[in-house]
């Protein structure tokens, strides 16, 4: 068996893996937002496993297809032999940086001033996640940006822009708050 037929088998296997990952990614995404399967399981699979496996299958599948296309069109030369792997190294590097090192709290100079903001019921209600507003919620006197969890201001029947301490503790462990950005404090 030559290297070409081995690569074709690896390519086909990666295509099937990518197919399954895309379906699983959609299911776990809806599992996190619609809660039709365990939120914790959905989040673990979606954020910790599926992205990395999917990225690997994507790189294998697409790089082989691009390689074959470049060979077919007589463009497989020294430059493309360097550029193609470089492109994929940069792509993988970007996603690794995004997953492990990027933090929205570090991306904005206004975050520090927001964290010192004091919200009341009257001021917090403006941040209801609708019409382009972020979705802020108060939990135990701290206001968090929960925009990723609240779609159009709604999350599991709850509305952003208010104190959801009791509702939060009924459905989530306290450790869940570690993933949210603090934007201020809450005073009743």
Distances (CA, A) of 146 to 28, 72, 125, 137, 171: 18, 49, 14, 7, 15
Per domain, the residue ranges of the chain are 3-102, 106-186
Q: Decide if pLDDT at 176 tops 90.
A: no
Q: What kind of architecture, by CATH, is found in domain 106-186?
A: Roll (3.10)
Q: Is the pLDDT of residue 39 over 80?
A: no
How high is the pLDDT of residue 81?
A: 97
CA 25 to CA 19: how far, in whole Å? 10
Higher pLDDT, 43 or 145: 145
CA distance 141 to 21: 39
- Residue 106 is predicted with a pLDDT of 46
Buried b (16+ CB within 10 A) or exposed e, 116-127: eeebeeebbeeb
Query: Any bridge partners for residue 159, and if so which?
Result: 154
Least confidently predicted of 27-31, 86-90, 101-105, 118-122: 101-105
């Amino acid at each position: 068996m030559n290297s070409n037929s081995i690569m074709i088998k690896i390519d086909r296997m990666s295509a099937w893996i990518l197919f399954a990952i895309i379906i699983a990614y959609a299911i776990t995404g809806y599992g996190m937002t619609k809660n039709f399967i365990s939120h914790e399981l959905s989040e673990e699979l979606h954020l910790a496993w599926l992205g990395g496996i999917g990225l690997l299958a994507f790189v294998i599948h697409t790089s082989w297809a691009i390689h074959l296309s470049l060979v077919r069109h007589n463009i497989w030369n020294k430059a493309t032999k360097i550029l193609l792997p470089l492109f994929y190294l940069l792509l993988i590097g970007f996603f690794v940086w995004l997953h492990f090192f990027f933090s929205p709290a570090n991306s904005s100079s206004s975050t520090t001033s927001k964290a010192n903001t004091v919200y009341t019921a009257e001021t917090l209600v403006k941040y209801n996640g609708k019409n382009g507003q972020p979705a802020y919620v108060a939990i135990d006197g701290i206001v968090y940006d929960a925009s990723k969890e609240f779609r159009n201001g709604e999350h599991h029947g709850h509305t952003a822009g208010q104190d959801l301490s009791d509702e939060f503790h009924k459905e989530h462990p306290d450790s869940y708050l570690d993933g949210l950005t603090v934007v201020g404090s809450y005073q009743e």
